[in-house]
Structure 1
Amino acid sequence: MPAKTGGSHALAGFSTLVVGSLLSKYLWAVVPSLGEASLLAVGLLRRVTGASLPVTEQFAGSLVVMVGLSFLWGVFFHLGRRA
């Protein structure tokens, strides 16, 4: 059982890194408000936690898309395990 969940999490991490980077560039061009919301989210995260994250369009967009993809992956993974 741990091998299945570990493999799934590793695949999720790798695929969100690759797909998130590519998809964020496309989403930033198509939906500029999502990009602006990403910048606001990273700015808020920096203020709340004190983390030294770069506040650039590319990083913020990639981060928000990757978090969203990881969340969806986790939801579908756990729903699939319950079925």
Structure 2
Amino acid sequence: MPATTGASHGFAAFATLLIGTMFSKFVWEILPPLGELSLLVVETVRQFGVGVPASRQFAGTLVVMVGLSFLWGVVYHVGRH
């Protein structure tokens, strides 16, 4: 059972990484305030010594990845219960 559950979660994580990277530029075109908020969060995390890049592309990727991960979690929860 853990292999099937782990495989679906692993696929979801990999897919959100790829999709997030591809669609990161659209965050800045469609929802610039959300991109700015994400960039602010990244810069705040950097102040604590975490070595993450503070670029618009990375911040946009995070927005898409978090959104897709949340959606994946909701779909998984609804499917399981």
Specify the TM-score bucket, using the shorter chain as the normaliser.
0.7 to 0.9
| TM-score for both structures, normalised by structure 2 | 0.84
Corresponding residue SS for 2:54: coil
Corresponding residue SS for 1:50: coil
**Counterpart for residue 54 of structure 2:** 55
Provide the rounded CA distance (Å) in 2 between the counterparts of 1:44 and 1:68. Answer: 20
| TM-score for both structures, normalised by structure 1 | 0.83
C-alpha RMSD over aligned residues: 1.5
**Counterpart for residue 64 of structure 1:** 63
After superposition, what is the alpha-carbon deviation per residue over 1:32-54, rounded to whole angstroms, capped at 9, x for unaligned? 1121111011112223x420111
Provide the rounded CA distance (Å) in 1 between the counterparts of 2:32 and 2:69. Answer: 22
Q: Structure 2: where are the runs of 5+ without partners? A: none
Mapped contact 2:27–2:63 kept (Cα < 8 A): no
Q: Which amino acid aligns with 2:55?
A: T
Runs of 4+ with deviation above 6 angstroms: none
- Quote how far apart the aligned CAs of 1:62 are: 0.5
Q: Which amino acid aligns with 2:78?
A: L
Q: Number of aligned pairs?
A: 81
Provide the rounded CA distance (Å) in 2 between the counterparts of 1:54 and 1:25. Answer: 16
